[in-house]
Amino acid sequence: MAEQQADVVILGGGSGGYAAALRAAELNKSVILVEKDKVGGTCLHRGCIPTKALLHAGEVADLARESEQFGVQASLNGIDMAGVNTYKDGVVTRLYRGLQGLIKSRNITVVEGEGRLVGPRTVAVGNDSFTGTDLILASGSYSRTLPGLTIDGERVLASEHALELDRVPGSVIVLGGGVIGCEFASIWKSFGSEVTLIEALPHLVPLEDEASSKLLERAFRRRKINFKVNARFESVEHTSSGVRVLLEGGEALEAELLLVAVGRGPTSDGLGYEEYGVKLDRGFVIVDEFCRTSAPGVRAVGDLLPTLQLAHLGFQEGILVAEHIAGVPVVPIDYAGVPRITYSDPEVASVGLTEAQAAERLGADKITTLTYDLGGNGKSQILKTQGAVKLVAEKDGPVLGVHMVGARVGELVAEAQLIYNWEAVPIEVAALIHPHPTQSEAIGEAHLALAGKPLHVHS
């Protein structure tokens, strides 16, 4: 057995793992990065990037379909899935090559193969072992299913299978109305499929502010995306033409395909974590504010943690851990201040507390809210989008949450993140100049109104 040592050994090369590797190498640490598939992980190869490429293709299809609204004569002759997949795969390939170049330029040793802990800070890959002064666990997540529901990759799909479809399905049932479910529902509707979403909770995107959920539901009704909330899955059976899904109460739905989008679970089983002192809870690794596990010298980042499973959060955790190992002063992550986006049509974006969370934390009488309708925003009118910006703030205090629904509002959430994380009060944001005509004006207008000096809204 060959043995190698490094300052930092990282198990998993997804968003959190490779961010930690890049930053640690930049801080003059020797780094070994173990990855069983391709560096970049789920986000680059089977998640964020290819999904958003499909969403953009769907947006192009919708623009062609609706071009007469803009005075442009065009026609949509169909969706060439081979061409769409070539475009999608090209985006992924270019980003992957760029990432490989970055890793090579920083002299990071990449070990290809499936690793597991065989010592307190030692990872084995086949007959080789790699020991770090510090070990970072970043083994990521997998697509969950439900008891009795088998994902076969043919008629019952997980998101990774959906990304590789070579055809546009005539009809799809999407089980789960969270981020993944709503994004794929949006893609397939744009491509021309009949879509039905099934969500067990009272609203779609249930982690968002209830007002945002209702705006998305209204938009999906306009788009003729069917959805059922408070609906619980019972069973599925194959039919001659696809699948038949039975819900509690006896209602049955039929479609060509079923997408299971009920969330992602941590990849920790069978990797030796608990054997070497890493405490788990339902498979998630338990860490402190600096991502330290219960095992000395072992950290964990990304989807392994019982927090939001977002690539940009994984990046930040990876950077934090690398800097903490190197002795650089770091500030713990405020998880409420992590921006969240659902890239459906329309998009849903938010940062900070929902109205319900703020009321629970401070008391309903201590908070105030304001909703600015995008109907009053010039750029939103140009884009023909509908939605709103909702602010949640402490009375006579800082902004606690920003919640947005509308086309491209994901591009606005970076400013919202600054507002929340810098504990800005509405009058401070109202003093900023937002360029015209942009959708960013909606953030400015909302804060003007909350500060008591509304411009293009009724007082």
> Burial of 130 by CB count in 10 Å (0-12 exposed, 13-18 middle, 19+ buried)?
buried
d(CA 31, CA 21): 6
Q: Residue 241 corresponds to which amino acid?
A: S
d(CA 39, CA 52): 19
Per DSSP, 292 falls in state B
Region of residue 20 (left: phi > 0; alpha: psi -120 to 50; beta: else): alpha
Buried b (16+ CB within 10 A) or exposed e, 296-308: eebbbbbbbbebb
Quick one: tokens of 408?
């491209």
d(CA 267, CA 282): 11
CB proximity list for 306: less than 8 A, separation 6 or greater = 281, 282, 284, 286
Quick one: tokens of 9?
């050994």
> Burial of 142 by CB count in 10 Å (0-12 exposed, 13-18 middle, 19+ buried)?
middle
* Helix/strand number for the chain, H first, E second: 13, 24
d(CA 66, CA 83): 21
Please state, in angstroms and as integers, the Cα–Cα distance from residue 92 to each residue in 44, 46, 55, 98, following that order. 6, 9, 14, 10
Give the catalytic positions in this structure. Answer: 436
CB proximity list for 376: less than 8 A, separation 6 or greater = 442, 445, 456, 457
| DSSP-derived 3-state class of residue 199 | coil
Check whether the bond before 398 is cis (ω within 30° of 0). Answer: no
The H-assigned helical ranges of 327-412 are: 355-362, 378-383
